[in-house]
Every structure is written in C-alpha cells, then in structure tokens.
Structure 1
C-alpha cells in the first residue's frame, strides 16, 4: 500500500506543486492550507508522513508540530522560510524528522520524504522484532540473539535459547517434550526427549526467582511460557 503524505502549506501553488510531484512518485496525498484542518486530518486519516509549513495563517506551525508529536502521530518534515541555524534547531527539538528551507526543489523534497519513511520503517521493524513479555520484564531480540530479564542480559546456551524462544513464540500454549526436541534440535534423537527436563532446569536457574512462573510445568504434558506477550 502506498504511503499517504499530508501536505500542510498555505501557499496554494507550492501545495499543488508538491502534490503533483508526490503523486508522480507513487504517494497518496492529502493537502490543506490550514493548521486546524491539518489537525483534523491527522486525527481522522492514516497519515504516514506530514510535510508541514510553519508559517500558517490560522494556527502557528509550531503548535501543529507539537500537537502532532504529543499524540504520537506521523513523522514530520518541516517546510519553512526560516533558515537560521537557531530556527532549524528549534524545529528539530520540537520533533521534526527533517527540515527543508524555502525556496526548495520539489524533487529534493520527494527524496527527503522517501528517506524519512525508510528510516522510520527500519526503526519500526527493529522495534517489532523485539518481543516483550510480562510488562516488559522479559525482552527477546531474535535479530541480535539476545534475551534480557529485568534489564539484565541472559547468558544462554543454544539449547536454552531454543527452548525460551520456542515457548515465547506462543505464550500460554503447552509444548510437549517431544515437540520441544524437534523445535529446538530440528530432528528426533532417541533418549533426548527426557533430557529436555535438564535443560529446562538450567534455563530456570538462569531466570532466577522468575524461572518457575516464567517457564511453567504442565504435569504429564510439557511446558509453557507463563507470561503473556505485551501488546
């Protein structure tokens, strides 16, 4: 799905120029020359990035920028005639992701929009790759092969790591010993099924006081992760 860009610019010619270039680049575009209307659009539509002129006639652009940031909304690229270093620093401190001064090349603006969206997308993907459980007490970053409990890194063997990540893949679901062998080792190994208990014991030891409630035993069946995945 194409990203949607909101252009907030009171000069109609600039607004339409940016709309044409952005649409040509494949973006969906909403436009307005009003700060109040911009706030309404941000609340009612899925906006992926806002191009914001700070010199608006009805609401100060700083106020729009601040309000958008306070509500955790979209990344922002500021468009402004204010070109001093102090003005740029001020906009960035308010939460702007990039800053373009007038006059500007619309092609450059489109490139900056793409760069910000890529950067934000990468950050979101990295954040999504870090799974959190028990209100943030347990965090598993599979990309970095790292697990942290209460902020402290866990030094796990490959088998212990495999056990923890398998259980964490479906919190509350009971995994049999046989299933854990196949998930962790990737093959059947005669006699290995019962040794899972030893690895679970070692894993619990490394989890400290949280071990028994984090890795729960279901008698006669197997094991499950006792903490829920954080939303």
Structure 2
C-alpha cells in the first residue's frame, strides 16, 4: 500500500461518512465518499481504492451486494464492513468496525491492513 492509501467510504448517513472521513484522514488516508452502493460502483470506474469501508444497510443495492462486487472487481482492495447489525451477520471481510466505533479502532484497522 502506498504512503497515503486511498479509502472509499460507503455510508448513507452523512454524519457517519464524515466521521469515518475524519478518522481515516487522521490515520493517513486519502478519502472518497459515496452515499449509495450505486454511487460507489460508479466511483470505482475512476479510482482504485486500497481499502473500502462499507456499511451493510444501504438503500437500493445492499452493502452485502456491494462487498461481493468489490471482491470480484477489485480483489486487491481491503474490505472493511461497518454496521449496527450483529457482527455475526457480516459477510467475509478483511476487517470489521461494528457501530459505534472509535477513532482508535479505525486507526488500528488501517494499520493492520497496511501491514498485510
């Protein structure tokens, strides 16, 4: 991963997306946000993120479906799942961030992915 990894945040809550942006930027990432899976898929035509933080509960295409699409089209992208749902219901991912999460938890996930 480069010195400034590119993170894609997909969350339909503006507050959560902004919080993740701030935490990821503090952890040394450049950040692009999308509020729907459809918007994220369009964005993926133009960028190659090092990691994607995907909320499972999204309008339209679900976060679970987006995660599967990311695995297929961008296998090099580390997948981080975030949700208020029980973490036992999360799809396979490189890391999880159950809501609510802290800045320290986000930083730990970024560090672990950077070492992988």
Partner SS for 2:41: helix
Tell me the TM-score normalised to structure 2 length.
Answer: 0.88
Q: Indicate the residue corresponding to 1:2 in structure 2.
A: 4
Q: Which runs of no fewer than 5 residues in structure 2 stay unpaired?
A: none
More helix by share: 1
Count of aligned pairs between the two proteins: 113
Q: Does 1:80 align with 2:83?
A: yes
Q: Indicate the residue corresponding to 1:48 in structure 2.
A: 50
Q: Which runs of no fewer than 5 residues in structure 1 stay unpaired?
A: 120-231
Instruction: Tell me the CA shift for residue 63 of structure 1.
Output: 0.8
RMSD: 1.4
Structure 1 residue aligned with 2:114, among 105, 111, 117? Answer: 117
**Cα gap change, 1:2 to 1:100, in 2 (>3 Å):** same
Deviation digits for residues 116-166 of structure 1, max 9, x if unmatched?
2321xxxxxxxxxxxxxxxxxxxxxxxxxxxxxxxxxxxxxxxxxxxxxxx
Q: Which has the larger radius of gyration?
A: 1
Deviation digits for residues 19-67 of structure 1, max 9, x if unmatched?
1121122210001111001112222102110000010112111110111
2:87 and 2:98 in contact (8 A); partners too: no
**Which structure is richer in relative contact order (CA contacts within 8 A, separation 6 or more)?**
2
Tell me the TM-score normalised to structure 1 length.
Answer: 0.46
Out of 27-36 and 96-105, give the one that drifted further.
96-105
